Structure 1
């Protein structure tokens, strides 16, 4: 698969959907090194709790299981699967799963986790970049393509991503996406004031010594993130030929991103009563037309 040009997305202006992308030249290698380094920290962290997962815990959110529905016997591809916990959680529900990630250490950890949990017979993990997924999985198609929380910010070109997703889906198959809402990136630490431009297009180059979990500092601290509006996500998928079945916005998130957030009995975090709210996560389901 050849690289699309940075300007491949047809621009509609701010917030209009598939805007012109400007990838940072070395973004892929910086991000791969950063994520390779994160694996050693994440695997030992309380945040990921691999012992608990081995004992039978699921990492899927209740709304994900409800919105995607029955997966038993269906072929599911998880793009950007990291260490495979979400992937294997779908396998525990009966799906035949494939996880793909560009980090070889993450895939090694996922394969070990599959063996440890007795799920190796219904799971497969492949090292590969999202933009080269069709080369990594030649001629294959899936009933479900799943992308989980925190994935899209690492991709510079959503129109290209959407076309790849459409190409990997079997006729009648569905994309199910659960993500952090882009509005949640705009607020300051008080959870009330807007401090970031929603329509910013420039990649964010970061140099930060820690990952988002507990654990020791990273050695590879630099990475590049790419902001995307909600309109860009939806428009990219629609232009790839997928039909949007729903877009749900959720008032909770997975961690206390702002000090004002309060933990619920279910273990998520929400704004307290009386505090102005913005959506913190969203979920989307899009279908590929059936053959004929």
Structure 2
């Protein structure tokens, strides 16, 4: 049975530490944005999550905590987990400065799954989104980990960029496989915030770091949608929702993409549409 590749996770931890600093350099006074009632969430995830008041929610691969705090503001009791030291330090400080309580844990999620299950922690909701699945080295262990920390009747919600969109480079040239059991070693996390600008920073993009080049390599994994869904089903969860979307929320993958209402990036007229996002909701039997 395959096991999580913690050696590759360590490469990614270093790369995300560097990238997180660059990403946040473009986002200005985020604490003020949250204090004034701002939210970084999109309608798709809110619909799938449902009412949040009083729910115990774990945000897996939470990055620097902006979505975590948006969920907490809606009444959820949020725990955010991420492998990046820089991201978790920033999230904790943003929580304090914004006055929105949430707990943040720096851990490889596979280690966190084991520790949380051993401690008997259970959650009503588990959530993950936007560029999370490609960093998972073992989907089977991931699915089992989610099932292990959900309370009976609890649900896992994933809103994610589609593996089809990841097959193409910025100029719509095929460069990646749809799925591949082997990791792909690349240049490390880039500055997608600079590429997406107001799509990811609607309160006011700032130039910040320019010409960012990550000094650390990264390891990504090409998982198809069937791989993701199968891992959840084999872990004992029941699939409730699977959707595909022809747009990407906030993130500009292609130089020709056009941002339309709702900060959604579409391919232009004359370019065949491809799925750019998908969503899954799976529930643990009561």
The TM-score, its normalising length taken from structure 1, stands at 0.85
Aligned-pair Cα RMSD in Å: 2.2
Alignment correspondent of 2:132? 151
Alignment correspondent of 1:13? none
Alignment correspondent of 1:204? 184
SS in 2 for 1:197: coil
Which of 276, 286, 289 aligns to 2:285? It is 289
CA distance in 2, matches of 1:50, 1:33: 25
Superposed CA deviations along residues 122-155 of structure 1, whole A, max 9, x for unmatched, are x111111110113443210000000111011111
Q: CA deviation at 1:73?
A: 0.8
Structure 2 unmatched ranges of 5 or more: 195-208
Q: CA deviation at 1:260?
A: 2.5
Which of 156, 181, 185 aligns to 2:166? It is 185
Query: In the superposition, relative to structure 1, how do residues 177 and 208 fare at CA in structure 2: closer, same or farther (>3 Å)?
Result: closer
Alignment correspondent of 1:255? 251
SS in 2 for 1:260: coil
Deviation >4 Å, runs of 4+: 47-51
8 Å CA contact 1:128–1:136 kept in 2: the answer is: no
CA distance in 2, matches of 1:189, 1:28: 26
Which of 222, 228, 251 aligns to 2:223? It is 228
8 Å CA contact 2:177–2:222 kept in 1: the answer is: no
CA distance in 1, matches of 2:251, 2:113: 34
SS in 2 for 1:258: coil
Aligned length: 268
**Mean Cα displacement is larger for which, 86-95 or 265-274?**
265-274
Which of 16, 19, 42 aligns to 1:35? It is 16
The TM-score, its normalising length taken from structure 2, stands at 0.86
Query: In the superposition, relative to structure 1, how do residues 235 and 58 fare at CA in structure 2: closer, same or farther (>3 Å)?
Result: same
Query: In the superposition, relative to structure 1, how do residues 91 and 43 fare at CA in structure 2: closer, same or farther (>3 Å)?
Result: same
Query: In the superposition, relative to structure 1, how do residues 272 and 49 fare at CA in structure 2: closer, same or farther (>3 Å)?
Result: farther
Q: CA deviation at 1:53?
A: 3.9
Question: By percentage of residues, which structure has more helix?
Answer: 2
